[in-house]
Amino acid sequence: MNSNSLVSISDISKEEILHLLENARYFEENPNHKILDGKVVATLFFEPSTRTRLSFETAVNRLGGRVIGFSDASTTSSSKGETLKDTIKMVSNYVDLIVMRHYLEGAARYATEVTDTPIINAGDGAHQHPSQTMLDLYSIYKTQGTLENLTITMVGDLKYGRTVHSLLMAMQYFNPTFNFVACDELKMPIEYKEFCDQKGIKYTEHKDFSEEVINSSDIIYMTRVQRERFTDIMEYEKVKNLYNLHNAMLDNSKDNLRILHPLPRVNEIDQDVDDNPKAYYFQQAQNGLYARQAIICRALNIDIKEVQKS
Ligand code: CP
């Protein structure tokens, strides 16, 4: 396994997270740098994506590298039965870095075991989405001026939501207080609650997305109920409309509150929230470009201090 791979947010230390955030800030101020000259990056997306794939590809382009890959695995030889192992081994022959999204939990870890080329996990099933976490942390830091001592309310699909799982783990270093708002079917899985218990992280669980919860929050992290994760469509129909944020619900919220969402949204944030200055989800997606530029440089052992001198 290449030690520069990023499969889970727990692969990197607090110091590395803070370093990546510093570098994201640098790239926000200096997005165009031809430091990937001669490098080729593969984006292998076995699951649909808009933001993650396009922001990784934009990041490579802005850094002067080249991108190959696919956004639809049905056009590749995996549709003829080629295994993930063979696909990864083949693509590794061509590129310096692989960014991969896969519908199976553990697929990214498995990929690191069959190649020495660094792998960035762009989402594996309901498991982890560490590059999303870096842009989430960057967004939280930019809007709050700190990552420390914040009350973060996670709402919606906490069972299958890989973005909330990764963010929860990353926040272990910053003394958060979590509100988990979900119905029984989509509750935060026990292993993540045990993780909180082990790390001394405070959390409370709620079925009701109440005024009290909203008004205590520094960050509200909304999530989509993901139809693609349900095996029983009737179960999805039962829970898909349970949590919806409307502008009026923010009337007595804290001034510093910001609404985050990894996107795409369906109906969990009403469009009347979009013009509220507390809505931050589109800027959050923009921050993905800078965070991913920093992550790519880490994966390719590129020292930003040297870049800054050039
Ligand atoms: N947040 C996120 O992963 O979005 P995409 O599915 O569009 O990549």
- H or E, element range at 222: strand 219-222
Domains of the chain: 9-128+288-309 (3.40.50.1370), 130-285 (3.40.50.1370)
State the pLDDT at residue 132: 98
Please report the pLDDT score of residue 236 as a whole number: 87
pLDDT at position 190, please?
98
Place of tokens 């997005």: 31
Alpha-carbon distance of 2 to 19, in angstroms, equals 20
Element of type H or E holding 135: helix 130-144
Catalytic residue chosen out of the listed positions 109, 129, 258, 298: 129
pLDDT at residue number 310: 66
> To test the ligand 1 pocket, which listed residue (51, 53, 100, 138) has its Cβ within 8 A of the most ligand atoms?
51
Closest CA relative to residue 268, chosen from 210, 206, 226, 205: 226
The rounded distance, in Å, linking the Cα atoms of 2 and 119 is 8
Total-model pTM: 0.96
- For residue 263, which atom of ligand 1 is closest to its CA? 1
Q: Is the CB of 228 under 6 A from ligand 1?
A: no
Predicted confidence at residue 299, as pLDDT, reads 98
Give residue 306 CA to ligand 1 midpoint distance, Å: 31
Q: Which atom of ligand 1 is nearest to the CA of 53?
A: 8
Closest C-alpha to ligand 1, atom 6: 49
> Does residue 50 have its Cβ closer than 6 Å to ligand 1?
yes
pLDDT for 307 equals 73
- Which parts of the chain sit beneath pLDDT 70? 310
Q: Give 293 Cα–ligand 1 centroid separation in angstroms.
A: 16
The reported pLDDT for the residue numbered 187 is 96
